[in-house]
Amino acid sequence: MTDQQAVLDLLDIVEYGGCAEPEQFFALMRRTFKIAHLLYLEAEPLADGLKVCRLHHTFGAYAAEIYLSKGLYRIDPILRLALGGVRPVEWATARRRFPECEPLFHAAEEIGLSTEGVALPLPSPAGRMALLAINANMSPAEWSAYRRCHLRDFQLAANLFHASMLEHAAMAGAIDERDMRLTGRETEVLTWSAAGKSYWEIATILGISERTVRFFMTNARRKLNVVSNTQAVAQAVRHALIPTI
């Protein structure tokens, strides 16, 4: 059973910009839920196909090579339905609906990948489409029950992550500087740390868990290129990234 507090922590982290990188988001999703693999795709539809704008996944180079070399993307019903609709696309349903796409699922099974999963269409700017695909190593019955329990969590996390990706892309185009920009939560955590508050006290003040506080502090140290919280506070004050109390 998934820890509901861990789910709330994940949603809080993603909502407040703590997952600017797909790898971070994927790691959190895999750790929080029983997820084997994830794929995030943003693309522009063209008359003769798709122009991929962003593609991140955890399936590995070998699976990607087979998918491309065998042209499986041409018969991928999940891609077709998710990028052309608004409802979540259940992989098993797509498989039953399009029997001509069996080579795709057979190829996945041959390399040891589960064929249980769901693809979530994501709202995008005009002219673009996006989706997050979630793959789980479960039996059909287990996955069906698990998906029903967590689909809303999956969808909310996916939407928040996608919004974060769009916002960071806009910021990257407008601001040319070192990645020293702190999110709102990172700024709050550093500010209270500068005031001498402990992780527990900061968690209580902000209404989040200590684990989430640690996550934001770790992100802040990485962005500021320091190894301790004291150095992070000093660096943030030096560059006027946090208010002084």
pTM score, whole prediction: 0.79
pLDDT top residue among 152 and 20: 152
- Residue 104 in this model has a pLDDT that exceeds 60: yes
Mean pLDDT of the 93-112 span: 95
Mean pLDDT of the 65-88 span: 91
CA distances from 25 to 96, 129, 161, 175 (A): 31, 20, 7, 23
189 CB burial (10 A radius; 0-12, 13-18, 19+): buried
CATH of the domain at 228: 1.10.10.10
Q: Same domain, yes or no, for 151 and 226?
A: no
In a domain, 1, yes or no: no
Q: Same domain, yes or no, for 63 and 85?
A: yes
CA distances from 217 to 183, 192, 233 (A): 11, 11, 10
Least Cα distance to 19 among 242, 185, 204, 178 occurs for 185
CATH of the domain at 121: 3.30.450.80
With contact defined as beta carbons under 8 Å apart, do 33 and 73 qualify?
Answer: no
Residue 176's pLDDT band (cuts 50, 70, 90): very low
In a domain, 94, yes or no: yes
- For residue 218, the enclosing domain spans 184-238
DSSP string, 61-91: HHHHHHHHHTTGGGG-HHHHHHHT-SS-EEH
In a domain, 190, yes or no: yes
Amino acid code (one letter) for 55: L
pLDDT top residue among 244 and 168: 168
The predicted-structure confidence for 109-155, as pLDDT tens digits, reads as follows 999 999 999 999 999 887 889 999 999 999 999 999 999 999 999 99
Taking all residues of the chain, what is their mean pLDDT, rounded to a whole number?
89
Of 127, 154, 174, which residue sits at a domain end?
174
In a domain, 107, yes or no: yes
Name the domain count of the chain.
2
Count CB-CB contacts under 10 A for residue 233: 22
The predicted-structure confidence for 39-56, as pLDDT tens digits, reads as follows 999 999 887 778 888 999
| Separation of alpha carbons 152 and 46, rounded Å | 31
In a domain, 10, yes or no: no
With contact defined as beta carbons under 8 Å apart, do 13 and 2 qualify?
Answer: no
Q: Same domain, yes or no, for 82 and 103?
A: yes
Q: Same domain, yes or no, for 156 and 196?
A: no
